[in-house]
Amino acid sequence: MTANKKLILGMGMIDGYGGLHGAWRAPHVDPAIYTDVDATVRHARAAERGKFAFLFTPDFPAVRGDVEQNPISNLMDPLIELTAVARGTTNIGFVATGSTTFQEPFNTARQFKALDVLSHGRAGWNAVTTSSPIVAANYGRQIADRGERYQRAHEVIQIVQGLWGSWQKDAWIKDQAANRFIDPAKLQPINMQGQYVASRGPLGIPPSEQGQPVVFTSGGPSPHLLSIAGRYASGFIAEVWTIEEARAQRELVRNAARDAGRDPDEVKYIPGIMTTVAPTVREGLDRRLKYSGDVIDARLPHLGPMLGIEIHPDRFDEPLTPQQLASAHASPRDPRSANALAVARQGWSPRDVIAHGVIDFHPTVVGPGKLHADHLQEWFEAGAADGFWMTPDIYEDGIDDFVDEVVPILQERGIYPTDYAGSTLRENLCVPEQYGLDPRITGAED
């Protein structure tokens, strides 16, 4: 790691409420925020105040889970909402998830490039395969096997990038006096035909300030996904719980880039983190207990098996006994167990251990800004991350608290930028220029 390399921050924009299931019921949160794009803009501006490089929008276009008591956990439509956010912000980028399984490459190329142009070079595309049957059902389809999904993904990404490059950089003449709008020789069909998808092109959208959107991907490190990440991705959105796991996964992603003939530093490895910023750990836990909905009760029975001990429900509010702590050991079946054990050894009750987020989707930090900064710095300096995508517990105040309490510490420590490196996502991620297909991968001419 070079001494002056800075860590990258992104914010997960899940639904406007926050990482806690009960965030939508907090008194300071408007329960209708799901449809309030002004709130999304407000949260984005807060992240921009903290020099975040990007917002990340996952996308599972389906109504999932218990929506009687929990929000839908998705933006209404990420690209449309991000278009509005682009008008209310100036520097922050937008990494929006778009399915390679259900979207036609022409639609993806068109919508993401339009967002890139109107945001002046701030768009990114998180190219994922979709494996959710309920999403498939919304498209009237079934989930194909992995080989087919990833073959389609390769074809889609190459066609999208081909379309992005089909409007050559100097095609747009705009010469009123000469009566020449476009040089037709520089706006040519791509005629790409795969096994599953095809497109003739060209795409009628000029280059943006960063040329074209930055490609990301996300998922578990299967050889299939690594071949996507290694060839096309400039960012890898990850879900890992320990430094060791993250380092190993980051190395897999970097090796995949090397194997594809790229410099591994071209792919930024970005694991998730969930945050509760509060003056003390106790106050943070109380906030989480208040707004976690029913997940704390649902997760409590899992703690005993994670620690290899029995915990009677009558003792959920008492610290573990010395005997329990002596026989406790981290379950090798769950990578979150070692952290759960470390938290339990600090003397917290099982309820408080769970409130630390030890069974959450990502590592969770609860307490003062310094604790958050320590966590990010430790992972960053251990080579476990190039940056993080964070989800605040409650967007309405959690992102401002993070920007006010955590960002200045990272800046003082010299590991986080004090200003944007530039105005495009590519500049702020520090990833190389690309226009059209990458000739190193596809053999295409520039």
Ligand X SMILES: Cc1cc2nc3c(=O)[nH]c(=O)nc-3n(C[C@H](O)[C@H](O)[C@H](O)COP(=O)(O)O)c2cc1C
Shortest distance in whole angstroms from residue 280 CB to ligand X: 30
Between 171 and 376, name the residue whose CB sits nearer to ligand X.
376
Rounded distance between C-alpha atoms, residue 347 and residue 318, angstroms:
9
Rounded distance between C-alpha atoms, residue 168 and residue 318, angstroms:
67
260-273 core/surface letters (b: 16 or more CB in 10 A; e: else): bebebebbbbbbbb
The backbone torsions φ and ψ at residue 336, rounded to the nearest 5 degrees and listed phi first, read -85, -10
The helix/strand/coil state of 57 is: strand
Rounded distance between C-alpha atoms, residue 68 and residue 65, angstroms:
9
Between 125 and 402, name the residue whose CB sits nearer to ligand X.
125
The backbone torsions φ and ψ at residue 85, rounded to the nearest 5 degrees and listed phi first, read -65, -35
User: Residue 247 is inside which H or E element, if any?
Assistant: helix 243-259
Which residues in 295-385 belong to E strands, given as ranges?
364-367
Between 353 and 425, name the residue whose CB sits nearer to ligand X.
425
Between 131 and 193, name the residue whose CB sits nearer to ligand X.
131
- 128, with CB counted inside 10 A (0-12, 13-18, 19+), is buried
Both structure tokens of 165: 């490059």
Between 113 and 149, name the residue whose CB sits nearer to ligand X.
149
The secondary structure of residue 364, as a DSSP letter, is: E
The CA-atom distances, in angstroms, between 125 and each of 3, 73, 233, 237, 247 are 29, 20, 9, 11, 24
Q: Can the peptide bond before residue 133 be classed as cis, meaning omega within 30 degrees of 0? A: no
For residue 286, what are the contacts with CB-CB under 8 A and spacing of at least 6?
none
Between 222 and 327, name the residue whose CB sits nearer to ligand X.
222
Shortest distance in whole angstroms from residue 90 CB to ligand X: 26
Shortest distance in whole angstroms from residue 61 CB to ligand X: 8
* Binding positions for ligand X, rule: CB under 6 A: 58-60, 97, 99, 128-132, 146, 149, 218-220, 222, 224-225, 237-239, 272
Shortest distance in whole angstroms from residue 153 CB to ligand X: 9
Shortest distance in whole angstroms from residue 242 CB to ligand X: 15
Between 239 and 283, name the residue whose CB sits nearer to ligand X.
239
Between 10 and 207, name the residue whose CB sits nearer to ligand X.
10
